[in-house]
Each structure stands twice: as C-alpha cells, then as structure tokens.
Amino acid sequence: MMRALVFTGPGVVEVDDVADPVVGSGEVLLHVAAAGICGSELHGVKTPGFRVPPLIMGHELAGMTDAGDPVVVNPILSCGRCDLCLRGLRQICRERQIIGVHRSGGFAERVSVPATAVRPLPSELGWERAAIVEPAANGVHAWSLSGRPEGGTVGIIGAGAIGLVCLAVALAKGAARVEVADRAASRLEAAARLGAHATVPALTGEYDVVFDAVGTPETHRQAVERLRPGGTTVWLGLANPEAGFDASGLVRTEKRIIGSFAYTDEEFEEAVGLVADWELHWVRSYPLDEGARIFTNLMEGGDSPIRALLRPN
C-alpha cells in the first residue's frame, strides 16, 4: 500500500492508503519527489467532467526511478503514428491521453508511467525546479505560437503559475516590455519580483501580444481589445468555454487568436534548461499528507501559494 491524494467525488479530495501501482510492459515505476497542483485540477474537481473520480491526479511531476535516476515526466501520451504525431505535434494527437487525467498521476508516493514519458534531469536541478518544468513548457509553447515578438510589447492576463511562466519566458526571450494584470495584490507582487515592467488590475495599453492565462469571457474580450491591429493573443486559460469577444472587430483589425495546449517534445526539453535560473519564491512545498487541506483551500479561492507542490517522499 501507499499514500495518495485521491479525487473521490465532486469537490472532494482525500489522502488515503491505496494499492501500489502495477508496472506494465514498457513502463517504469517512479518514486515521486514532487508534484504540482495545477489550476486545471482545481477546476476539474470542483466541476467534474474531463477528470472522472476516483482518480489520482498530478500531471506536473518529477521523481526517481528504481535505478536511481532523477527524471521529470512529460505527461502527454500520444499514438505516435498519426499525421499529427509524425509532424511533431503530439500534444494535439486525436488519441491524446494525459497522465493524471486518463490514468493515475503524481499525487502519490509512487506511480507507473510509460518509459517514453520520462526525461532525464540534471542532478543539480532540484525537485522544486523539476516540478515546474511542465508549466514552464506551456510558457515556451505559448511564446512560440505568439510569433516570438522579440523587442515587442507583451500583456499577460492572470498572474497565476501559467501567467508567471509566460512572463519569465517572455523576459528570457527578449520582449521589450511585459505588463501583467491580475486582481490579487499578492500575485502582482510576485510578477513584479520576476521582472514585470508594470503590474496592474487590468491591461490598459496596446500590445503586440497578449497572453490570456485565465480564460473567461471577460479576459477573452480584454485580450482581443488590448491588441494592436494585426496583433496576436494566445489563449492558455480554461476557466470558461465562452468566447466573449467582438468577432467583427477581429476581422476589421486583422487580429489573431491562437489556442495553446501543452507543448512539443522540443519545448519540454527547452523548459528543463530555462527553469534552472528562475526565481521561485511563488512556489511552496507541502507534505503529501497535507494535500487535501492545501488542495481544498486553493479550490475554494485561496490565492496563496501561487503554485503548491506536494512532496510524498
């Protein structure tokens, strides 16, 4: 038996003793060292649908193999043979599955994952940084989709973990000015510490690129309105499916909206190197046994910490 944080029903997660994972053919047993709680999981437990209980979630994970190798897990599983996979677009494979969504994930002491999902880690990286690789890869992918506006102006809506990694990537890649909007003062403070040129309750300028890391009708509308003519907004947030923007204005000003889901294998590898130098004051670790309390607090609207990691071992 082992300890795990289990999604047991709408709005409920519980730490419990569960059976050890069965390691199948082509799989490896991972001793989890750290797993991040993603906002999509908070929403998924509060409003079940994509994730079906009972489920051990956790798609942002890193740990040690039985052989003693430190690894991080790329949770995107794909068929590997379709037209999209062969073009390097595994993240949008029509048969895509995700560790922690369609099968058990990292909110446990141990988890079995396909050997193809593990990526080696530099031994000096540390588990806290390793657990940030997956969200960081989302930021790398969003930057690529935006057209890589080196020397341009960037607006970011939402200073949660995804908004902050978009900020860190934009600064690393050469954006001339990055402004971040959020309603929570503590999150704006975190963005300022990471190097945002301005932190505001709402974007008011005109930007080459706007990243929407929230995903509500209101933020969708703001993201489109704040673009310069011909600009691009990249939507990463999944809070609400409604579009909420003026389609006529989109046509008249040739603005572009691009959805961003996950990352390519190359972008995931790039993220491993990027996080080594990041300031991670916005990340905090907790024992797995505190998982239900931490998860529930965040699910009910708590805004601290910005990214919580569960540490089983």
pLDDT digits (tens, 9 = 90+) for 189-203: 999 999 999 999 999
Residue 221 above 90 pLDDT?
yes
Residue 238 above 90 pLDDT?
no
Ordered by where they begin, the domains of the chain are 2-132+280-311 (3.90.180.10), 136-259 (3.40.50.720)
Which one, of 84, 48, 1, 12, lies nearest residue 293 by Cα? 12
Instruction: Please report the pLDDT score of residue 15 as a whole number.
Output: 98
Q: Assess contact for 190 and 179: CB atoms under 8 A.
A: no
Please compute the mean of the pLDDT values over residues 130-153 and round it to a whole number. 96
Residue 295 above 80 pLDDT?
yes
Q: Assess contact for 37 and 295: CB atoms under 8 A.
A: yes
Tokens of 103: 């099968």
Instruction: Please report the pLDDT score of residue 95 as a whole number.
Output: 97
Instruction: Please report the pLDDT score of residue 241 as a whole number.
Output: 83
What is the torsion angle, in degrees rounded to the nearest 10, for the CA atoms of residue 109, residue 112, residue 115 and residue 121?
-10
Residue 313 above 90 pLDDT?
no
pTM above 0.75, yes or no: yes
Residue 303 above 90 pLDDT?
no
Please compute the mean of the pLDDT values over residues 246-259 and round it to a whole number. 93
pLDDT digits (tens, 9 = 90+) for 37-60: 999 999 999 988 889 999 999 999
Rounded to 5 degrees, what angle do the CA atoms 138, 4, 137 make?
10
Instruction: Please report the pLDDT score of residue 32 as a whole number.
Output: 98
Instruction: Please report the pLDDT score of residue 177 as a whole number.
Output: 98
Of 142-156, 176-190, 243-257, the poorest mean pLDDT is in 243-257
Contacts of 51 (CB under 8 A, 6+ apart): 7, 41, 44, 45, 57, 101
Tokens of 34: 């750290």
